[in-house]
Structure 1
Amino acid sequence: MFSRQRPKVLSFNERVERLRSAAFATETMSDGRVKISKNGVGALVGDEGRNQPQFERAGILVGSDIAALLNGGYQMFLETPSGRRMPATAAQLKALHEFEEDIRAALGMVDLYNTSLGTTSPKHLYDRVFKRDAGRQPKPWDKKEHRIVPPDTKGSLHL
C-alpha cells in the first residue's frame, strides 16, 4: 500500500536555528521579530503564526537600518526607513540576490521563477495594474479610481 510521508513542519525557532547554522547572524528585536544578516545584507523575519515565517523584504544594511530597493526607472536606489536615498551599486545588488537565494536554500523554501528574474522593489508597480494586490478589484461602474498612481520618488531626478 502506498503511503506518503508528511513533511515535518518546522517551528519558527527551528527555522531561525537553520539560518544560524547557515552562517547568518541573527538578532532578536524587542517586538519578537528576528533581524538576520550576512555580508552587508539583512532582513526582518517575524512569526506570523502557524509556524510560518513572515519575511519583510531584504535590503542592504546602512548602519543599523535595512535600506529597501527603490526603482528610479533608470537606476535602482536604496532608501532607508528615515528617507535617506543613495544609488545602489552592482555589488550590493549581487549581494542581495545571493542573500535571498541563501535564505531560500537554508529554509528549504520553493524558489519561484519570478523571484529569480532580477532585482525587484516592493515600492514599484511593475505591471501598472491599479490595486492589483488590494483584493477586490474596482468594477467599471464603481466610482472612477482607475488612474495609475506613480510611486512616490521623493524628489529624485526621475520625472
Structure 2
Amino acid sequence: MAKKKTEQRTFDDVISLLGKERFDVVRASEGATKGTAYRVTKYGCAAEIAKDTDGTVEITHRAGFLLNGQIATILDRGYQKFLKTPKLEIAATADHLRSIHHFSEEFKEATGSMSLYNESLGTTSDKYMYDRVQGRE
C-alpha cells in the first residue's frame, strides 16, 4: 500500500478556504513574531496564523476559547479543566470543550495540519498541573 502524501497548502489558499468555511479572519492585534498574524475565529474560539517564509501557514497561537478577547489555554488539574488567560481563569464547561474541539477539527482540516488520533477523540490540554504530583520531578 502506497503512503498517502499530504499536500501543503499555501497561505493564500488557506485564507481563501477559511473564508469559504465561514471562519472570520482578521489581522491580529497581537501575536506572531514573524510578519503579520491573522486571527481566525468561529464558535467562540480562535487561533492565530501567519505566513511562513516558504509561503505556507505557520500556526502562531494554538486554538483556544476566547475570553475577553484573548485566546485561553486549557489547563488540566486532574479533577477539572480550566480556561486560562494572563488575566482570567475559569472552569471549563463541556460546552467550552466541545466548541474548542469542533473549531480545532475544522481549523486543522482547512489549514492542512496533521490531525492526531488522540486529539480527534476529544479536547487535549495545553498544560497539566496535577496537585498530587506537584513538587515531584
| TM-score bucket (shorter structure) | 0.7 to 0.9
TM-aligned CA distance change 1:46 to 1:125, over 3 Å: farther
CA distance in 1 between partners of 2:116 and 2:16 (Å) = 24
Higher radius of gyration, 1 or 2: 1
1:10-159 equivalence runs, <5 A = 10-30=9-29, 32-55=36-59, 56-82=61-87, 84-124=88-128, 148=137
Which protein is richer in helix relative to its size?
A: 2
How far is 1:64 from its partner? 1.2
CA distance in 2 between partners of 1:25 and 1:72 (Å) = 32
Q: TM-score, normalised by structure 1?
A: 0.67
TM-aligned CA distance change 1:96 to 1:68, over 3 Å: same
In the TM superposition, structure 1's runs of 4+ consecutive aligned residues that sit over 6 Å from their partners are: none
Structure 2 gap segments, 5+ residues each? 30-34, 131-135
How far is 1:39 from its partner? 1.2
Identity %: 34
> How many corresponding residue pairs?
122
TM-aligned CA distance change 1:104 to 1:75, over 3 Å: same
CA distance in 2 between partners of 1:112 and 1:51 (Å) = 24
CA distance in 2 between partners of 1:125 and 1:50 (Å) = 36
How far is 1:9 from its partner? 4.3
SS class of match (1:57): strand
CA distance in 2 between partners of 1:7 and 1:39 (Å) = 27
Q: Which moved more, 1:91-100 or 1:53-62?
A: 53-62
The one-character-per-residue Cα deviations of 1:29-54 (angstroms, maximum 9, x if unpaired) are: 25511100001011111223222322
CA RMSD of aligned residues (A): 2.3
CA distance in 2 between partners of 1:25 and 1:78 (Å) = 22
